[in-house]
Protein backbone atom coordinates (compact mmCIF):
# COMPACT_ATOMS: atom_id res chain seq x y z
CA UNK A 1 0.00 0.00 0.00
CA UNK A 2 1.19 3.50 -0.78
CA UNK A 3 0.08 6.84 0.61
CA UNK A 4 -1.97 7.50 -2.52
CA UNK A 5 -4.32 4.59 -1.88
CA UNK A 6 -7.55 4.45 0.06
CA UNK A 7 -9.58 1.48 1.24
CA UNK A 8 -12.99 0.77 -0.26
CA UNK A 9 -15.45 -1.52 1.47
CA UNK A 10 -18.77 -3.09 0.53
CA UNK A 11 -21.03 -4.67 3.11
CA UNK A 12 -24.29 -6.28 2.03
CA UNK A 13 -27.17 -7.72 3.99
CA UNK A 14 -30.60 -9.15 3.37
CA UNK A 15 -33.24 -7.36 5.41
CA UNK A 16 -35.41 -9.72 7.45
CA UNK A 17 -38.36 -7.34 7.10
CA UNK A 18 -39.34 -4.35 4.99
CA UNK A 19 -37.73 -1.10 6.11
CA UNK A 20 -41.11 0.25 7.30
CA UNK A 21 -41.79 -2.81 9.49
CA UNK A 22 -41.81 -1.89 13.22
CA UNK A 23 -39.18 -4.61 13.83
CA UNK A 24 -36.78 -2.53 11.72
CA UNK A 25 -37.45 0.72 13.61
CA UNK A 26 -34.31 0.67 15.80
CA UNK A 27 -32.14 0.11 12.75
CA UNK A 28 -33.84 2.67 10.52
CA UNK A 29 -34.01 5.29 13.30
CA UNK A 30 -30.26 4.94 13.95
CA UNK A 31 -29.12 5.40 10.35
CA UNK A 32 -28.66 9.17 10.55
CA UNK A 33 -26.72 8.84 13.82
CA UNK A 34 -24.46 6.02 12.66
CA UNK A 35 -23.90 7.46 9.17
CA UNK A 36 -23.19 10.91 10.61
CA UNK A 37 -20.68 9.39 12.98
CA UNK A 38 -18.96 7.68 10.05
CA UNK A 39 -18.72 10.95 8.16
CA UNK A 40 -17.16 12.69 11.18
CA UNK A 41 -14.73 9.84 11.89
CA UNK A 42 -11.02 10.35 11.40
CA UNK A 43 -10.02 8.70 8.13
CA UNK A 44 -13.48 8.74 6.53
CA UNK A 45 -13.43 9.71 2.83
CA UNK A 46 -16.80 8.95 1.18
CA UNK A 47 -19.94 6.81 1.40
CA UNK A 48 -22.73 5.88 -0.97
CA UNK A 49 -25.93 7.75 -0.20
CA UNK A 50 -28.96 9.17 -1.94
CA UNK A 51 -30.96 12.33 -1.28
CA UNK A 52 -32.32 10.76 1.94
CA UNK A 53 -28.75 10.62 3.30
CA UNK A 54 -28.50 6.83 3.40
CA UNK A 55 -28.19 3.89 1.02
CA UNK A 56 -31.27 1.85 1.94
CA UNK A 57 -33.01 2.74 -1.33
CA UNK A 58 -30.22 1.34 -3.54
CA UNK A 59 -31.10 -2.10 -4.86
CA UNK A 60 -28.23 -3.35 -7.04
CA UNK A 61 -29.19 -7.00 -6.53
CA UNK A 62 -32.22 -8.78 -8.01
CA UNK A 63 -33.46 -9.49 -4.46
CA UNK A 64 -35.26 -6.32 -3.28
CA UNK A 65 -34.46 -7.16 0.35
CA UNK A 66 -30.69 -6.85 -0.22
CA UNK A 67 -29.16 -3.71 1.29
CA UNK A 68 -25.71 -2.27 0.59
CA UNK A 69 -23.19 -0.13 2.39
CA UNK A 70 -20.31 1.16 0.28
CA UNK A 71 -17.68 3.51 1.67
CA UNK A 72 -14.08 4.67 1.31
CA UNK A 73 -11.58 5.18 4.13
CA UNK A 74 -8.02 6.50 4.27
CA UNK A 75 -6.84 3.19 5.69
CA UNK A 76 -7.94 -0.03 7.37
CA UNK A 77 -7.21 1.31 10.85
CA UNK A 78 -9.74 4.13 10.40
CA UNK A 79 -12.44 1.75 9.18
CA UNK A 80 -11.72 -0.78 11.91
CA UNK A 81 -11.79 1.93 14.59
CA UNK A 82 -15.19 3.17 13.34
CA UNK A 83 -16.71 -0.32 13.08
CA UNK A 84 -15.55 -1.65 16.44
CA UNK A 85 -14.83 1.33 18.71
CA UNK A 86 -17.86 3.57 18.20
CA UNK A 87 -21.62 3.30 18.71
CA UNK A 88 -21.66 1.48 15.36
CA UNK A 89 -20.50 -1.62 17.27
CA UNK A 90 -23.77 -1.71 19.24
CA UNK A 91 -25.82 -1.81 16.06
CA UNK A 92 -23.44 -4.24 14.38
CA UNK A 93 -23.87 -6.51 17.39
CA UNK A 94 -27.62 -6.53 16.78
CA UNK A 95 -27.40 -7.29 13.05
CA UNK A 96 -29.11 -10.69 13.38
CA UNK A 97 -32.30 -8.90 14.48
CA UNK A 98 -32.47 -7.06 11.16
CA UNK A 99 -30.49 -9.12 8.63
CA UNK A 100 -30.53 -12.75 7.60
CA UNK A 101 -27.31 -14.75 7.71
CA UNK A 102 -26.01 -15.12 4.17
CA UNK A 103 -24.45 -18.28 2.79
CA UNK A 104 -21.76 -16.31 0.98
CA UNK A 105 -19.35 -13.48 1.85
CA UNK A 106 -21.15 -10.27 2.77
CA UNK A 107 -18.13 -8.02 3.26
CA UNK A 108 -15.21 -7.15 0.99
CA UNK A 109 -12.42 -4.58 0.95
CA UNK A 110 -9.99 -3.50 -1.78
CA UNK A 111 -7.42 -0.77 -2.31
CA UNK A 112 -8.27 2.08 -4.70
CA UNK A 113 -6.42 5.14 -5.92
CA UNK A 114 -7.09 8.17 -3.72
CA UNK A 115 -9.83 10.22 -5.36
CA UNK A 116 -11.48 7.24 -7.03
CA UNK A 117 -15.15 6.73 -6.13
CA UNK A 118 -16.09 3.07 -6.50
CA UNK A 119 -19.32 2.12 -8.25
CA UNK A 120 -21.78 -0.48 -7.04
CA UNK A 121 -20.93 -2.59 -10.11
CA UNK A 122 -17.23 -2.48 -9.17
CA UNK A 123 -18.03 -3.35 -5.55
CA UNK A 124 -20.26 -6.28 -6.53
CA UNK A 125 -17.49 -7.57 -8.82
CA UNK A 126 -15.03 -7.51 -5.89
CA UNK A 127 -17.48 -9.34 -3.63
CA UNK A 128 -18.14 -11.96 -6.31
CA UNK A 129 -14.39 -12.40 -6.81
CA UNK A 130 -13.87 -12.93 -3.08
CA UNK A 131 -16.69 -15.50 -3.02
CA UNK A 132 -15.29 -17.37 -6.03
CA UNK A 133 -11.55 -17.20 -5.34
CA UNK A 134 -11.03 -16.35 -1.67
CA UNK A 135 -8.91 -13.48 -0.33
CA UNK A 136 -6.37 -11.89 -2.68
CA UNK A 137 -4.93 -8.46 -3.36
CA UNK A 138 -7.98 -7.87 -5.57
CA UNK A 139 -10.61 -8.56 -2.89
CA UNK A 140 -10.13 -9.38 0.78
CA UNK A 141 -11.54 -9.28 4.30
CA UNK A 142 -10.18 -8.39 7.72
CA UNK A 143 -8.11 -11.57 7.85
CA UNK A 144 -5.87 -10.14 5.10
CA UNK A 145 -4.94 -7.00 7.05
CA UNK A 146 -2.12 -7.96 9.43
CA UNK A 147 -2.52 -4.83 11.56
CA UNK A 148 -6.28 -5.35 11.99
CA UNK A 149 -6.97 -6.84 15.40
CA UNK A 150 -10.20 -5.33 16.65
CA UNK A 151 -12.35 -7.53 14.42
CA UNK A 152 -10.87 -10.59 16.14
CA UNK A 153 -11.56 -9.46 19.67
CA UNK A 154 -14.78 -7.46 19.27
CA UNK A 155 -17.68 -8.83 21.25
CA UNK A 156 -19.65 -8.99 18.03
CA UNK A 157 -17.17 -11.34 16.36
CA UNK A 158 -18.38 -14.84 15.60
CA UNK A 159 -17.49 -17.54 18.15
CA UNK A 160 -14.84 -18.97 15.81
CA UNK A 161 -13.08 -15.59 15.76
CA UNK A 162 -13.90 -14.93 12.12
CA UNK A 163 -15.62 -11.75 11.06
CA UNK A 164 -19.34 -12.37 11.10
Q: Is 128 domain-assigned? A: yes
- pLDDT for 153: 59
Confidence at residue 154, expressed as pLDDT on a 0 to 100 scale: 56
- Whether 160 is covered by a domain: the verdict is no
pLDDT at 91: 86
Full domain range(s) for residue 68: 5-153
CATH number at 46 reads: 3.30.70.100
Series of mean pLDDT values for 10-residue runs along the chain (164 residues): 82 95 96 94 96 89 94 95 86 92 94 97 97 96 69 47 41
**pTM for the whole structure:** 0.86
- Which pLDDT value is given to residue 92? 85
3-class SS letters over the chain: CCCCEEEEEEEEEEECCCCCCHHHHHHHHHHHHHHHHHHHCCCEEEECCCCCCCCCCCCCCCCCCEEEEEEEECCHHHHHHHHHHCCHHHHHHCHHHHEECCCCCCEEEEEEECCCCCCHHHHHHHHHHHHHHCCCCCCECHHHCCCCCHHHHCCCCCCCCCCC
- Looking at the structure of the chain, the number of domains it has is 1
- Give the per-residue pLDDT at 159: 38
Amino acid sequence: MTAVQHLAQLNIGRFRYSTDDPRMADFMNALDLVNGLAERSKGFVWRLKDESGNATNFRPFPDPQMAVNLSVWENAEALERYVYQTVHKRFYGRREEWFEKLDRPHFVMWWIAAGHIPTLAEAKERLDHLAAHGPSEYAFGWESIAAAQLWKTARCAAPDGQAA
